[in-house]
Amino acid sequence: MISVATWNVLHRVHADNWVSDIAGLWPEESKRIAAVTAMVAARTETVVALMEVSGDQLASLRNALPGREFHVLDYPRVPRPRRVANVLEDRSEHLVILVDGSARPVAAESFAFDPGKGVLAVELDGLLIAATHVTGDERRDMQLKRLRELTEARPAVLLGDFNIDRTALAAGLGDGYAVADFPSDAVPTRPRDSGSKSQFIDHVVGHGVPVHDLAVEEVAGASDHNLVHAVVG
């Protein structure tokens, strides 16, 4: 058994472009970066998957966690500020897997037709671990198909921001994939004040392995997503 966690930490440029409340709560991005790093450093899971990691955030994590193994997908798209001036030294965006131990790299690719979303996969003790960030529109079906191609031949766990609810994700991945169900009292993974979109869009999915003890932890406003963790195996 291994413990896993997944968290979309919110790239600052996206927060500014979409007028996120998080940007207002943290006018100094360096302080939010430090808070995110401290939260990640305190995690005890064997594997932590992170989405929307800015270059500044990645540098902070590397500095704070020299004992963790980093696997990183560098997206070819670099977010561009559209509303306010850039506050980052490094605007690049990354998908990251942190491992307490040593894992073998398997795949690192951005999705076709969206250079700012993708999948990063490693193998740890015979288990394929795939971290992903899926587009929230009609491109999703092609991306879920690609995730299945990468994971269907072996025991695997998928972690990430899928931008859809549990039922839709299970239907999109198809037979053989079990999307872990949240406890009835779980706080949302992506809280929203308005709109019809699901508030549970970050998931842990098992293929050939059970997922249990799924839970959501609030992150004290450090991101617009809360952190999800579970035990696999």
Which amino acid is residue 45, in one-letter code?
A: E
Tokens of 32: 């939010």
Give ∠ CA 230-223-4 in degrees, rounded to 5: 15
**What does the radius of gyration of the chain's CA atoms come to, in whole angstroms?**
16
- Mean pLDDT value across residues 118-139: 97
Mean pLDDT, all residues of the chain = 97
Which CATH number do you get for residue 67? 3.60.10.10
Residue range of the domain that includes 12: 2-232
- Mean pLDDT value across residues 175-195: 94
Count of domains in the chain?
1
Q: How confident is the model at residue 62 (pLDDT cuts 50, 70, 90)?
A: very high
pLDDT digits (tens, 9 = 90+) for 65-88: 999 999 999 999 999 999 999 999
pLDDT digits (tens, 9 = 90+) for 7-43: 999 999 999 999 999 999 999 999 999 999 999 999 9
Taking CA atoms, 115 is separated from 3, 49, 50, 142, 161, in Å, by 29, 19, 17, 14, 16
Q: Tell which residue, 129, 128, 136, 125, has the closest CA to residue 161.
A: 136
Tokens of 185: 């009292």
Beta bridge partners of 132: 119, 160
Q: How confident is the model at residue 196 (pLDDT cuts 50, 70, 90)?
A: confident
Q: How confident is the model at residue 194 (pLDDT cuts 50, 70, 90)?
A: confident
Q: What percent of the chain has pLDDT over 90?
A: 97
In this predicted structure, the answer to whether residue 1 has a pLDDT above a threshold of 80 is yes
Q: What percent of the chain has pLDDT over 70?
A: 100
**Dihedral through CA 126, CA 1, CA 60, CA 102, nearest 10?**
-30
Amino acid 141: pLDDT: 97
Contact 210, 233 (CB under 8 A): yes
- Mean pLDDT value across residues 183-206: 93
Contact 102, 67 (CB under 8 A): no
